[in-house]
Structure 1
């Protein structure tokens, strides 16, 4: 499966689509101290995402000792359809809004990789329209939820290839990794395999989030 997925990612940055791979979706959790809400990349397998979501979750478990942790995988196609990122945007906002209402003391860490970064960007009010597998904003997290979003962790964020980044309310809580030469996030990047290596940043991302929680 990993080989097939890597080929799918290579096709994405090369402009050719392959059939989506299936991935399991974590269900909405009970009222833990912190919930990791993860939007996987295009065609990416794994529970929260093989390359980013799962490694980041594991790293957070080690760093946030004494706190309870749960995960939610954003329910969206993560394919090359024109509505994919928009559907993820809607699901993320709907889930966090409902979860926040059900669990008044819960905090959130948002994680997005590749197309999933577009999903998170849109959800915090930064449009990914015009980016690779991006979309216009269809929903944003309400102001009542904003203080409970402790950290935003982005990897291979396509809006960076357009010279854009997260600004405004969430900027100080956001860390945005772009590997050298990654053509998905670096203007003029040509090192396609760099887009597959973000598991190496999981520990740094978890440390950033742990400091914000």
Structure 2
């Protein structure tokens, strides 16, 4: 298995985070999670990514899924975590918040199903939440909470973009494998060993329609 030095990946992630932080395009505000919609979509944004759901992935993917699933109702939830390279427990905080949200929503809305979305560091958040450790990956960390097994059937689909665990030869396996679409753009140094194209890590909004089609086939 080819490995990329973590220092190189951290440098790439830092560069991407700075690039994202420098974006000034106004993002649409995240939709608040309406009670008992058909589908709830928690989104964990990438490092330094602007926007409630995230300008690069969350906003366009949420809009595409809404459009594709009409007339079914879709709500969203912005995972509450720092998405910060300088906070060593950032991923763990996102992991805890995502699991808590799914548990609370599932209890309040017995018929609701979920689509989990994670981009970059946010993909690590989702990985951990479904029991795939991101420890050892860039901006990763150990699992601190997992979605309970009895709620697993209500996770309709999982969308991951620029997933850092792929750079260390890891991927989603087991219970959620067939329900997961894991995008890694050619040359993306965050998810691809020896990738050298930082711009590839910013390209995932272009996959929104494909991601929505995948979701439509699972719900």
TM-score scaled to structure 1, two decimals? 0.90
- Per-residue CA deviations over 1:146-197 (Å, capped at 9, x if unaligned) read 1000000000000000011000000000000000000000011011110000
Answer 1 or 2: higher relative contact order, Cα 8 Å, separation at least 6: 2
Note the C-alpha offset of 1:128.
Answer: 0.2
Q: Distance in 2 between matches of 1:171 and 1:108?
A: 15
- Where 1:87 maps in the other structure, the secondary structure is helix
Corresponding residue to 2:129 among 123, 127, 130: 123
Note the C-alpha offset of 1:11.
Answer: 8.1
Q: Distance in 1 between matches of 2:203 and 2:185?
A: 8
Paired residues of 1:61 and 1:69 also in contact (CA < 8 A): yes
Q: Distance in 1 between matches of 2:124 and 2:10?
A: 18
Which consecutive residues of structure 1, in runs of 5 or more, have no partner in the other structure?
1-9
Corresponding residue to 2:174 among 156, 168, 171: 168
Q: Distance in 1 between matches of 2:118 and 2:126?
A: 6
Corresponding residue to 2:112 among 96, 106, 112: 106
Note the C-alpha offset of 1:13.
Answer: 1.1
2:201 matched residue in structure 1: 195
Corresponding residue to 2:84 among 79, 84, 100: 79
TM-score scaled to structure 2, two decimals? 0.87
2:42 matched residue in structure 1: 37
- Where 1:57 maps in the other structure, the secondary structure is helix
Alignment RMSD (CA, Å): 2.2
- Per-residue CA deviations over 1:108-149 (Å, capped at 9, x if unaligned) read 000000000000000000000010100000000001111000
